[in-house]
């Protein structure tokens, strides 16, 4: 490709909307352009990089038995209604009507369509297992796109789906993906960690996320410093310190004027926060019901609430499908007889209230809790004696420094970007859509499903985030849009032009397509653009290099330059590119 003809230009100045390196550099180097919030065009350089990523994905998924197909981006609403997600998912799903007035949706994921295909095609255990995948555009109307390609609304994902006759089969395919996904990321040069995660809107049993650790990430992960425990903060368990073993003491009302926070309370009474009980309120809107359910969560005063755990606990309790959880209004709290700032479950009305206490509370005696009266607290409240919970569950948020749930270590909090995820869906969708097969005994069984996804653009952005310096991008050989940046610096006698053109042709004939900077620009401009675009190997053809005995070679990720004789240029380029590959394999033990 001749740079003079390439459909994009580099920008000298940093675009004002870019806050993080990958966004800024991908814009400046001419890889992407933004059309709207979270909506981008991928110009030829980005497209080529993404093609290479997608081909790595195809190789790895094919290697574990995947078959590529393509499923539609526009779906009729009824399959989403069949699984219940039509009403479960909110504004994040883009909906519209076609000309005949039928409700349609833009695909935000493809479980429904896969399951529909499965129920049409799969009838016998003899047809299982299956693994199908596609690389397709999705749209999620995210309330807040940000950080360039890291969090967008329209995006392309590799999406694979496993279909099995039993749970052992799912376990096997899940494990295959677990490993294949590591290979995909590593072949792209991206170091990732797998962590246990929430299943969120996907539903199902077990799930892992692949996290690229970076301060620009918006997920918080917790890693044990001495064992291999790792989890997204949303689901992270932790070892709760055992409270003192005291006998329950009599309840005692104590005046606490203007003391409405845990910190003030502990201060005022001269006790640690861990000796207090904290109340947190949410209103749960139930589908198809008018009056929201008040969620009254109680945990030890030194701990923060984990909303994801709370939602999952409520879901597990079977108390109806909760569509949304929002902070309760003050009136809603007062309506049950609780007093904000001085609240406890003691003595409140219990109809249409769900009291959920953290699983540490049964072991934490004599806590100071609210008296449900402005300006007063109660000493020595005890679960069981003074109030009964509707449910006991782990609803506390793990923090940096929390004890590991599995060993004596401490959890460390780090930021990360989720670049992929894998879910054991089980029969969540196949049961809903009636995707069954007949087993050997002629009995209908629901197909057991798994789903696995990687965002292509987000992966590209993370690679850019990982590999760059103050001059520009530094692409790993495996995802670079071109392997070689061939640079011509014009000469008076035309010798450099002649040599560069010859090398350009010879490289293409050798199956190596370079990006050929044939522009009539100053050397400084060309060198700076080469650094910005960041191709792995730069080959400069100039009068000076020819006088010195050939072409000047430089790797983008190294500082040194050296001269290679004209006649061995192709061979050395091949060697260098191969060397880049080898270094990559070594770094990731591939």
| Residue in 99, 144, 247, 558 binding RNA, rule: CB under 7 A | 144
Q: Mask: binding to RNA, 35-54, rule CB under 7 A, as x and -? A: -xxx----------------
Which of 156, 185, 69, 214 lies closest to 455 in space, CA to CA? 156
Beta strands in 442-544 (DSSP E): 444-446, 448-455, 468-469, 472-473, 484-489, 515-517, 537-542
| Residue in 304, 561, 562, 582 binding RNA, rule: CB under 7 A | 561
Residue 468, interface with RNA (CB under 7 A)? no
Task: Mark 490-521 as b/e (b = at least 16 C-beta within 10 Å).
Answer: bbeeeebbebbeebbeebeeeebbbbbbbbeb
Distance CA 487, CA 515 (A): 8
CB of 329 to RNA, least distance (A): 14
CB of 458 to RNA, least distance (A): 5
Smaller CB separation from RNA, 180 or 265: 180
Residues within window 219-248 making contact with RNA, judged by CB under 7 A:
219
- Measured in whole angstroms, the distance separating CA 132 from the mean position of its chain's CA atoms is 22
Residue 143, interface with RNA (CB under 7 A)? yes
Beta sheet of 74-76, edge-to-edge order: 74-76, 103-106, 95-97
Distance CA 25, CA 324 (A): 38
Cα angle, residue 147 at apex, residues 143 and 149 outer, rounded to 5°: 90
Q: Are 276 and 298 in contact (CB under 8 A)?
A: no
CB of 9 to RNA, least distance (A): 7
Long-range contacts of 434-443 (CB under 8 A, 24+ apart): 434/119, 435/115, 435/116, 435/118, 435/119, 435/122, 436/119, 437/122, 437/123, 437/124, 437/125, 437/127, 437/128, 437/165, 438/123, 438/124, 438/125, 439/125, 439/165, 440/125
Smaller CB separation from RNA, 140 or 377: 140
Q: Mask: binding to RNA, 441-460, rule CB under 7 A, as x and -? A: --------------x--x--
CB of 382 to RNA, least distance (A): 31
Q: Mask: binding to RNA, 504-533, rule CB under 7 A, as x and -? A: ------------------xxxx-xxxxxx-
Smaller CB separation from RNA, 180 or 489: 489
Smaller CB separation from RNA, 35 or 69: 35
Residue 12, interface with RNA (CB under 7 A)? yes
How far is the first Cα of the chain from the last one, in angstroms, to the nearest whole number? Answer: 31
CB of 175 to RNA, least distance (A): 20
CB of 253 to RNA, least distance (A): 34
CB of 166 to RNA, least distance (A): 27
Smaller CB separation from RNA, 421 or 478: 421
Residues within window 401-430 making contact with RNA, judged by CB under 7 A:
418, 421
Residues within window 303-362 making contact with RNA, judged by CB under 7 A:
307, 325
Please state the φ and ψ torsions of residue 362, each to the nearest 5 degrees: -60, -20
Smaller CB separation from RNA, 10 or 430: 10
Q: Are 222 and 231 in contact (CB under 8 A)?
A: yes
Name the residues that contact RNA, by CB under 7 A. Answer: 9-17, 19, 34, 36-38, 92, 140, 142-147, 151-153, 155, 198, 200-202, 209, 218-219, 307, 325, 418, 421, 455, 458, 471, 489-490, 522-525, 527-532, 540, 542-545, 548, 552, 554, 561
């Amino acid at each position: 490709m001749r740079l003079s003809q390439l459909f994009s230009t580099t920008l000298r100045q940093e675009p004002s909307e870019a806050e993080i390196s990958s966004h800024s550099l991908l814009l400046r180097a001419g890889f992407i352009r933004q059309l709207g919030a979270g909506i981008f065009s991928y110009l030829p350089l980005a497209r080529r990089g993404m093609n290479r990523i997608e081909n790595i994905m195809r190789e790895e998924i094919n290697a574990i038995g995947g078959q590529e197909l393509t499923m539609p981006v526009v779906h009729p609403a009824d399959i989403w209604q069949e699984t219940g997600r039509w009403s479960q998912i909110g504004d994040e799903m883009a909906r519209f009507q076609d000309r005949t007035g039928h409700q349609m949706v833009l695909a935000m994921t493809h479980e429904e369509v896969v399951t529909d295909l499965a129920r049409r095609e799969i009838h016998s255990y003899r047809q299982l297992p299956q693994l199908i995948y596609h690389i397709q555009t999705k749209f999620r109307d995210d309330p807040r796109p940000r950080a360039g390609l890291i969090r967008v609304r329209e995006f392309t994902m590799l999406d694979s789906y496993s279909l099995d006759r039993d749970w052992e089969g799912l376990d096997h395919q899940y494990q295959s993906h677990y490993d294949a996904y590591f290979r995909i990321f590593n072949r792209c040069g991206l170091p990732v960690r797998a962590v246990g995660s929430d299943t969120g809107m996907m539903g199902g049993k077990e799930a892992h996320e692949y996290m690229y650790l970076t301060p620009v990430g918006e997920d918080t992960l917790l890693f044990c410093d001495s064992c291999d425990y790792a989890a997204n903060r949303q689901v992270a368990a932790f070892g709760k310190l055992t409270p003192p073993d005291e006998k329950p003491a009599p309840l005692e009302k104590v005046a606490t004027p203007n003391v409405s926070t845990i910190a003030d309370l502990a201060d005022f009474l001269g006790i640690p926060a861990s000796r207090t009980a904290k109340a947190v309120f949410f209103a749960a809107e139930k589908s198809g019901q008018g009056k929201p359910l008040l969620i009254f969560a109680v945990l030890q005063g030194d701990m923060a609430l984990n909303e994801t755990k709370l939602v999952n606990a409520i879901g597990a309790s079977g108390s109806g499908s909760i569509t949304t959880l929002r902070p309760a209004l003050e009136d809603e709290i007062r309506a049950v007889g609780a007093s904000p700032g001085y609240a406890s479950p003691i003595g409140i009305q219990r109809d249409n209230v769900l009291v959920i206490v953290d699983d540490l509370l049964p072991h934490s005696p004599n806590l100071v809790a609210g008296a449900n009266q402005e300006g007063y607290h109660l000493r020595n409240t005890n679960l069981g004696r003074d109030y009964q919970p509707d449910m006991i569950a782990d609803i506390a948020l793990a923090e940096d420094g929390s004890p590991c749930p599995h060993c004596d270590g401490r959890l460390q909090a780090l930021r990360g970007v989720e670049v992929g995820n894998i879910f054991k869906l089980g029969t969540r969708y196949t049961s809903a859509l009636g995707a069954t097969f007949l087993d050997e005994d002629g009995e209908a069984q629901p197909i057991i499903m798994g789903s696995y996804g990687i965002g292509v653009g987000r992966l590209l952005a993370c690679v850019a985030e990982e590999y760059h310096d103050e001059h520009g991008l530094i692409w790993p050989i495996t995802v670079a849009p071109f392997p070689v940046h061939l640079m011509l610096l014009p000469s008076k006698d035309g010798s450099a032009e002649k040599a560069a053109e010859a090398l350009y042709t010879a490289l293409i004939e050798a199956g190596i397509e370079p990006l050929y900077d044939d522009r009539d620009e100053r050397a400084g401009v060309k060198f700076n653009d080469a650094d910005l675009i960041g191709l792995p190997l730069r080959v400069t053809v100039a009068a000076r290099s020819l006088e010195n005995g050939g072409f000047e070679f430089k790797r983008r990720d190294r500082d040194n330059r050296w001269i290679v004789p004209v006649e061995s240029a192709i061979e050395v380029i091949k060697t260098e590119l191969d060397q880049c590959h080898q270094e990559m394999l070594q770094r990731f033990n591939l």
